[in-house]
């Protein structure tokens, strides 16, 4: 009978034998990564379930944490701090800052990272709107509609970060219209309305689970009440169609930066 292998003696001082040590990873990195994921999961929870902020999918098998500024871009992150686009007291690395993160299904995560669409914050209606800049057919139903983010949330993504992502989307799709048209008021995504995850009275999303009688129709969210909630805006696009054009210039950037600096 073969003898069982044993660890060599003497053991290394103050540590386990080779092969039994914790993987080469700093514990502080683990804790900050866990905090990143936890904060995003808590923020992007609706009616008690984490969901894709684009399509509302609650399937845990497809939900993923997405970074606006990717973890391989620490220099970009530092440059944004130096320019005053994000607060200096933010996390030192983009991978650890929850305000650089989003919860998406795998499909929309892939399309976001592949520069098929961008997210534009509209200061006048205080909404984050999806713009299908590449004219991807599967994104057309989401185009021009507000996604499930609240600018007033303590851990809402910094609106300024989406400017960089938008510029990259435009660069990857150079032959698309420079000023795509979207609805003027930024209506909510269909699932936000159909699942009644937005509280019109408080003007905020419903994060907690509802009682078992949630389908009795008493907490429904009608399209009429949604229209009443939206502030009156002036169209910056084709007035005859009631829409606006998504422009990118110094004034737009300044307005979004001002909104970012006013975030909680």
| 23 within a domain of the structure (yes/no) | no
Q: What is the pTM of this model?
A: 0.79
| 29 within a domain of the structure (yes/no) | no
| 56 within a domain of the structure (yes/no) | yes
Of residues 162 and 1, the one with the higher pLDDT is 162
Mean pLDDT of 243-255: 97
| 156 within a domain of the structure (yes/no) | yes
- pLDDT tens-digit map of 200-227: 999 999 999 977 644 444 443 333 333 3
Grade residue 21 by pLDDT with cuts at 50, 70 and 90: very low
| 203 within a domain of the structure (yes/no) | yes
Domain total of the chain: 1
- pLDDT tens-digit map of 86-119: 999 989 999 999 999 999 999 999 999 999 999 9
| 213 within a domain of the structure (yes/no) | no
| 86 within a domain of the structure (yes/no) | yes
Domain that holds residue 53: 34-208+222-261
- Cα 141 to Cα 206: distance, rounded to the nearest angstrom: 23
Sign of CA dihedral 73, 78, 80, 85: positive
- Cα 39 to Cα 139: distance, rounded to the nearest angstrom: 27
| 1 within a domain of the structure (yes/no) | no
Return the structure tokens found at 8: 């060599």
135 pLDDT above the threshold of 80: yes
24 pLDDT above the threshold of 50: no
- pLDDT tens-digit map of 70-79: 999 999 999 9
């Amino acid at each position: 009978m073969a003898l069982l292998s044993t660890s060599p003696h003497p053991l290394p001082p103050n540590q386990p034998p080779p092969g039994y040590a914790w993987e080469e990873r700093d514990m502080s990195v683990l804790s900050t990564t866990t905090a990143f994921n936890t904060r995003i999961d808590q923020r992007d929870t609706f009616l008690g379930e984490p969901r894709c902020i684009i399509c509302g999918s609650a399937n845990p098998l497809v939900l993923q944490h997405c970074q606006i500024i990717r973890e391989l871009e620490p220099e970009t992150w530092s440059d944004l701090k130096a320019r005053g686009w994000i607060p200096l007291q933010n996390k030192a690395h983009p991978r650890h800052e929850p305000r650089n993160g989003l919860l998406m299904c795998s499909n929309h995560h892939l399309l976001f990272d592949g520069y098929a669409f961008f997210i534009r914050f509209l200061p006048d209606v205080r909404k984050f709107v999806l713009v299908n800049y590449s004219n991807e057919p599967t994104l057309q139903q989401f185009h021009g509609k507000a996604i499930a983010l609240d600018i007033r949330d303590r851990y809402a993504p910094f609106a300024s970060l989406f400017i960089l992502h938008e510029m990259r989307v435009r660069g990857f799709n150079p032959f698309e219209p420079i000023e795509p048209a979207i609805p003027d008021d930024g209506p909510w995504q269909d699932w936000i309305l159909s699942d009644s995850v937005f509280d019109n009275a408080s003007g905020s999303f419903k994060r907690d689970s509802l009682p078992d009688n949630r389908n009795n129709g008493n907490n429904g969210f009608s399209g009429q009440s949604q229209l009443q909630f939206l502030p009156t805006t002036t169209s910056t696009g084709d007035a005859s169609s009631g829409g606006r054009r998504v422009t990118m210039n110094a004034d737009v950037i300044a307005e979004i930066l001002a909104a970012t600096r006013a975030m909680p």
